[in-house]
Amino acid sequence: MSGFSDRNAIVTGAANGIGRAISDALLAAGGRVVAVDLAEQDLLQHFEGRNNVTCLATDVADDEAPEQIVETAVETYGGIDFLVNNAGIAIGGPFEELTDEQWDLIMGVNVRSIFRLSRAAVPYLKQSDAPRIVNLGSIMSDMAGPNLSIYGASKHAVAGLTKGMAVDLGRFGITVNYLQPGSIITRMSEPFMEDPEFKAYWENKAPIGRLGEAEEVAAAAMFLLSEEARFVSGTGLNVDGGAIVNF
């Protein structure tokens, strides 16, 4: 795959898991990254001292975050080529026990932040000759799972938002796609995997017979950001070991 050298990227949720893996892959391919995450210590511990990466500790759900993130990228690297909206949270529980506060929190991080940061980045993406947006959905963008009603709703919203963005932004040459990871081993998934039944369910759900790794999702993200994917837009790419087709 090609098209990463000297490209400027924003990656949210970059301190751990999938966001960290995507950031590492971009840096290894010659890109420059603004790595965004609320977990400042984790960001600095992983990225501090490395070339071509700028750490920005902020909450993507904050009202001021989009302008802050975009300004950092433009002032530091002179523009934006890639935006990877990876930041996300998951809160589980029986539907009847879920709260308004949980709804607002999950939707704020998983959906509203994508809308607002992408909107803020568009004027600069228009100036790129290879503008790409990749949003993190989930196989929950197409299905449902036990005790994940709000999370699933947020990921369905990511799919719909991405498709609409692809239609509206295509005239500027901006491709917009989303990833649909299955059950991936990350810090966010670890608490869920402490339940042996939950872990076994997702291991068995994937015909490949195991949980996925963050680097495997990063490889799919790199394809969608690459020059080879310049005519791919409005698409959800499953990275799930076949779980979504295993009825």
| Closest among 199, 212, 200 to 138, alpha carbons compared | 212
Tell me the residue length of the chain. 247
Residue 168 inside a domain? The answer is yes
Residue 162 lies in a domain: yes
Is residue 73 domain-resident?
Answer: yes
pLDDT at res. 188:
73
Instruction: Count the domains in the chain.
Output: 1
Q: Tell me how far apart the alpha carbons of residues 2 and 194 are, in angstroms, rounded to a whole number.
A: 39
**SS3 readout for 25-39:** HHHHCCCEEEEEECC
28 occurs within a structural domain: yes
* Collapsed DSSP state (helix, strand, coil) of residue 216: helix
Instruction: Enter the tokens of residue 208.
Output: 């490949």
| Mean pLDDT score, 120-148 | 93
- pTM here? 0.94
- pLDDT given at position 87: 97
Which residue range is the domain that position 93 belongs to? 8-183+214-241
Contact 223, 3 (CB under 8 A): no
pLDDT at 214: 95
Res 203: pLDDT: 78
Is residue 41 one of the residues assigned to a domain? yes
Residue 77 lies in a domain: yes
Q: Round the average pLDDT of the chain to a whole number and report it.
A: 94
Which pLDDT tens digit goes with each residue over 36-61? Answer: 999 999 999 999 999 999 999 999 99
Angle, alpha carbons 164-152-178 (nearest 5°)? 40
10 Å CB burial of residue 68 (0-12, 13-18, 19+) is: middle
**Residue 49 within any structural domain of the chain:** yes
Residue 118 · residue 178 · CB < 8 Å: no
End-to-end CA distance of the chain: 33
- Which residues, in sequence order, are CB contacts of 93 under 8 Å at separation 6+? 102, 147
> What are the tens digits of pLDDT across the range 183-237?
887 777 777 777 787 777 777 788 988 888 999 999 999 999 999 999 999 999 9
Distance CA 224, CA 85 (A): 13
Query: Which CATH number is 165's domain given?
Result: 3.40.50.720
DSSP string, 66-104: HHHHHHHHHHHHS--SEEEE---------GGG--HHHHH
The whole-number pLDDT of residue 199 equals 79
Active site residues: 151
pLDDT beyond 90 at 18: yes
A 10 A CB-CB count for 125 gives 24
